[in-house]
A = this chain, B = another copy of it.
Amino acid sequence: MYKIAIAGAGAMGGRIGTYLKRNGEDVVLIDRWQDHIDAINKNGMEIQTETETYTVQIPAMQPEEVKEKFDLIILLTKAMHADDMLKSLKDIGAITESTAILSMMNGLGHADYLSQYVPKSQIFLAVTMWTAGLRGPGQLLLEGQGGIDFQRSDGQPDERTEKIAQVLDDAGLNAKISDDVFFSIWSKAAVNSVLNPLCTILDKTIGEFGAYENAREMITPILKELIAVANARGTNVVFETLLAKIEATYPNEAQGLHHPSMHQDYTNRRLTEIDYLNGQIAKYGDELGIETPANDLITHLIHQLEMKYA
């Protein structure tokens, strides 16, 4: 039996986990939120879509309660909680020398610290276009369609990659093996590194941010630093493409009326993922001797804001 853990079973983890479970996979949800765990174990995961409401029975638990060893751990915690989650799973013996870890987290730099737990050949990195919302403990709101692009973190193909693709795709998750997942990761991180912190610092929606007449001039240096770092690390993202991706979010019909997730984290007094976005760009820049003053300043501004809630 192929044993799968969803480590970090919030909205996205709930979507991925219940899709797999409905397709007959052996899946457990692992999370730190006890009310959520209790609700799932008592009532199942209650799912509302545009057209139907249904319930998926699926076991949920704290990492310390795990009794199994996993073939695949799909990592969907907030980035800053991944290390704690994996350490707990490692300590309890749930990560073996054949466990694959598939990170679907946002942001940059995950492969580096994940390699403390398994070799890079067992680390897989994904970018997902699925979205999901949580209405309350054990209650998901699932709209729209998505997909998952992923690749072994060292870029090599192998049978395990094929197996994971099959498992995800069979469950309706539209999985595709990428031949350059870092391109997708950096592209997504570019959008997030601009809109997430700036809309948080300014307390603006994406549309309000984009309405500033010098928005393009404002974001250009941030993007150029990111591109210099990505290029030096071997990923050929291009300025015009990333700029267009960002500017495409501004209209109300796109994401203009929304605040990015970091704004929601901040206003809910949670720590942000800044260290896995602009902070990671700055860190890579230091390692590579590339100056990143705009990303440095943004990282400091968000950390200054986080202090208010410390």
Chain A contact residues, CB within 8 Å of chain B: 198, 201-202, 204, 208-209, 211-212, 214, 217-218, 221-222, 225, 293-294, 296-298, 300-301, 303-305, 307-308
Contact = CB atoms under 8 A, between A and B. Distances in A.
Contacts of A214: 300, 303
Contact of A212 (B204, B212, B298, B304): B304
B307 A212 contact: yes
Contacts of A297: 218, 221-222, 294, 297-298
- Which of A303, A304, A307 is most buried by chain B, counting CB atoms within 10 A of its CB? A304
B293 A212 contact: no
A109 to B, nearest CB: 19
Given A293-B294, A307-B211, A301 B221 contact: no
Contacts of A300: 212, 214, 217-218
Contact of A202 (B222, B296, B298, B304): B304
Contacts of A307: 208, 211-212
A301 B305 CA distance: 15
A202 B293 contact: no
Contacts of A202: 301, 304-305
Given A201-B201, A201-B301, A214-B303, A293 B221 contact: yes
A304 to B, nearest CB: 5
Given A201-B201, A202-B301, A305-B202, A296 B221 contact: yes
27 contacts: A198-B301, A198-B304, A201-B201, A201-B301, A202-B301, A202-B305, A204-B304, A204-B308, A208-B307, A209-B304, A211-B307, A212-B300, A212-B303, A217-B296, A217-B300, A218-B296, A218-B300, A218-B304, A221-B293, A222-B297, A225-B293, A293-B293, A294-B294, A294-B296, A294-B297, A297-B297, A297-B298
A202 B212 CA distance: 19
Nearest to A292: B293
A308 to B, nearest CB: 8
State the 5 A-B residue pairs at the shortest beta-carbon distance, nearest first. A218-B300, A221-B293, A293-B293, A293-B294, A212-B304
Contacts of A301: 198, 201-202
